[in-house]
Structure 1
Amino acid sequence: MPDSPLYSAAAVAVIALAVAAVVAVGLKVLRSFRELGTDAERATYNTLHAASKAGRHLRTGLNPAGAAKASRQLRALLGCDALAILDVSGVLAWDGAAEELRPGLMELAADVLSSGRTQVFNAADLKLHSPTSGPSRSGSVPKSGPVAAAVVAPVRAGSRVVGAVAAFAPQAGAGLVRATTEVADWVAAQVELAELDASRTLLMEAEVRALRAQISPHFIYNSLNAIASFINTDPARARELVVEFADFTRYSFRRHGDFTTLAEELRCIDRYLLLERARFGERVQVSLRIAPEVLSTVIPFLSLQPLVENAVRHGLEAKEGPGHITISANDSGAFAEVTIEDDGVGMDPVQLQSMLAGHVDGEHVGLRNVDARLRQVYGDEHGLVIETAPGEGTLITMRVPKSQPDHDA
């Protein structure tokens, strides 16, 4: 058997290495903290860190879940004994001491919510609005506990007062009043950002409804006419077209979800082109070049079909003789790149640019709608890229990220 002193020496060596590692990690952490420099720099860092953590919880606006988490960070930021966040209908969150004051807070803050002005309340005010206590019969105010004052500051979203922040402390000095007002203004900025995000979502939904309305008048009428033309001459074809028309409209007018997959959108396009070819016959020829690995890519709902419809209506319908549409989808690293090319009559690039910018109205409403939605979802660098000229056809390119964890199809 090995000599036991050898084992003891090895054990001592291991322990020494572990201690050295712990000391090294501790020194590294201490050094990183010291790199912040002065006490003022550390205070600035702590303030920004707390605000950043609180901001993550207010991204969806004023709601109980987010307010409860944000209140902890904001109370630490103000250094008060208790902090409450409320909207116009009730107290959303309370963090800290003196929670017995919570039931009377809405009554206490009523004037702040109506006037939009920060107010300071003393111990008498708190006792008056506390459901468990009040002025004594002699009119004197019972001695308060550690929390003897409150500052209530309004939260404004534009011109509206949507809530308030209440800070409770042993006394309300000028510093606490200013700090609470600033925190309320910061919360208001988060609320306005949340409302902006909600407005963008509503705008996207409105744009999808506009695309559906655009499909309705001309395409449905023409498709039904094409189906009717086959009822007597080719009943089997008419039945097939009715099924495809039903599937297309069911997909186009679905009520749920702002996103779909590239595969689903291509199926919709296939049905659309089948119905259009029932009208145009061999005048519309289509080629598909689809990389299988991008079929599951998430894209905004009804973002490809309007581009293909534009190629048919404005590219090929006005062209004499047959026309060709090529639809490609390729893997381009972190992106899926989709192109729709036609050899139709083309467009004036200057007029198209003005139309996409919203400066002039035009026939290509679908293009402008899809371009705006892509920019809203992915950023300006992901708008449509359109290459065209009169008589030269049109090539439209769309690039979307393959990884979109925040979007569900």
Structure 2
Amino acid sequence: MPDSPLFTAAAVAVIALAIAVVVGVGLKVLRSFRELGTDAERAIYNTLHAASKAGQHLRTGLNPAGAAKASRQLRNLLGCDALAITDTSGVLAWDGPSEELKPLLMGLASEALAGGRTTVIHAGDLRAPHGKTGGPATPVAAVIAPIRAGTRVAGVVAVFAPAASAGLVRATGEVADWVATQVELAELDASRTLLMEAEVRALRAQISPHFIYNSLNAIASFINTDPERARELVVEFADFTRYSFRRHGDFTTLAEELRCIDRYLLLERARFGERVQVSLRIAPEVLSTVIPFLSLQPLVENAVRHGLEAKEGPGHITITANDSGAFAEVTIEDDGVGMDPEHLRSMLAGHSDGDHVGLRNVDSRLRQVYGDDNGLVIETAPGEGTLITMRVPKSQPGHDA
């Protein structure tokens, strides 16, 4: 019977058991929650975890693949609606809505890129269309912080939210500084790798097998017809290879490098005859200038192999070295077939392979030693020849030839 004492006792027992189960489960959840630490400790853990995940994707530098993965972590870290990462030339990654603003971002970021200062655009000054088919505009605020890697701005971190609070501005700046640190670490790793590769290439692989094979063939062709010239060419070849494969020092003088070039051109003229014409204009005061070892010969070899060899008829190479204030300026110009500027730019940036490995090697080594502003300057176009300019400081404490 429902009203019996036995039924009432049973009901009370069931209710008590249910309460005990609920309390037990609750205590277990609370205990496990406490094991994770306090709210502050959990926030720190989440922040460090997101930063660690994002850092793994940025260790190769600012590139679209790494930036796309890192932007997801950084967007969650900042709690913003959308986040974008750019370099100095374009948008690398965009995570979140409001992609209608993506074509405008580089214009919005111009001040941060140029001046290295955070730009804040408040809601009302910037609006993103709502939805793909238009409709009411949604107010959007933007915070654009520069990524300062060393003394230069490498890009920006841009966040979009309903409002640009002071906290969001500070947090975005801190994230951009953290990204800059990852970029600098990536560049340091790349510099170490490039330095080792440059040394190996300079000491062992700058002489192309193509050149060695053709030089030996040219020497062989004179053994019967002109033995004296064949002997002279063998000596020049030996001197050239001895210099190119020397084991000491990363630097030499401009005078030594020009002597190496003279031997190289003598061997090439033995093969091409009058097809290779050379003019030199060298200022005596720059002959003692210290330059990276084997930094000019690959440029001259590029002019012969890729400029004149493919050209019909004779070709001309002009080598000049002038005093330009605190710098020595060397130019190598040929009137050969030239190169496609876009392909050349991609090759120098390491984005594509090509036959002009010597140019990329020299350009990388110059930037490592003297900074990014002192790489090769190359002017070329298909059918218009090539002009290469190299500038090195005349005073270089610590660099001994």
* 1:208 Cα deviation from its structure 2 partner: 3.5
Instruction: Please say if residues 347 and 389 of structure 1, whose CA atoms lie closer than 8 Å, have aligned partners that are also in contact.
Output: yes
Among candidates 198, 201, 210, match of residue 207 of structure 1: 198
The equivalences for 1:166-315 within 5 A come to 200=191, 203-211=194-202, 212-315=204-307
Cα-Cα RMSD: 2.0
Q: Contact 2:206–2:298 (CA<8 Å) still a contact in 1?
A: no
| Residue number in structure 1 paired with 2:358 | 366
Report if the CA contact (8 A) 1:208-1:302 is conserved: no
CA contact (8 A) 1:348 1:389 kept: yes
SS at match of 1:221: helix
Following the alignment from structure 1 to structure 2, what is the Cα–Cα distance between the partners of residues 313 and 324? Answer: 13
Q: What TM-score, normalized to structure 1?
A: 0.51
The aligned residue for residue 315 of structure 2 is 323
Q: What is the distance in 2 between the residues matched to 1:269 and 1:217?
A: 17
The offset of 1:205, in angstroms, is 4.3
**Structure 1, residues 264-307: CA drift from partner, whole Å, max 9, x if none?**
00000000000000000000000000000000000000000000
Q: Deviations over 1:113-153 (max 9, x none)?
A: xxxxxxxxxxxxxxxxxxxxxxxxxxxxxxxxxxxxxxxxx
**Structure 2 match to 1:400:** 392
SS in structure 1 opposite 2:389?
Answer: strand
Measured in 1, the distance between the counterparts of 2:196 and 2:249 equals 9
Rounded to whole Å, the distance in 2 between the matches of 1:290 and 1:208 is 27
Q: Does the 8 Å CA contact 2:194/2:364 hold for their aligned counterparts?
A: no
Alignment of 1:4-153 (within 5 A): none
Shift of 1:206: 2.4
- For the Cα contact (< 8 Å) 1:205–1:258, is it kept in 2? no
Q: 2:367 pairs with 364, 375, 381, which one?
A: 375
1:204 Cα deviation (Å)?
A: 2.7
Q: Secondary structure at the match of 1:275?
A: helix
Q: Percent sequence identity over matched residues? A: 89
- Once residues 207 and 392 of structure 1 are traced to their aligned partners in structure 2, the CA distance between those partners, rounded to angstroms, is 30
Can you give the 5+ residue segments of structure 1 that lack an aligned partner in the other structure? Answer: 1-188
Q: Helix, strand or coil for the counterpart of 2:207?
A: helix
The CA distance in 2 between the partners of 1:203 and 1:406, in whole Å, is: 20
Q: Note the C-alpha offset of 1:200.
A: 4.4
Indicate how the Cα distance of structure 1 residues 403 and 325 shifts in structure 2: closer, same or farther if over 3 A, else same. Answer: same
Distance 2:391 2:198 in 1: 20
* Structure 1 equivalent of residue 333 of structure 2: 341
How many residues are treated as equivalent by the alignment?
217
The residue number in structure 1 matching 2:345 is: 353
**TM-score, length basis structure 2:** 0.52
Task: Kindly report structure 1 stretches of 4+ aligned residues shifted beyond 2 Å.
Answer: 199-206, 208-212
Deviation at 1:209, TM superposition (A): 2.2
Secondary structure in 1 aligned to 2:323?
A: strand
Distance, in Å, in 1 between the alignment partners of 2:208 and 2:386 is 24
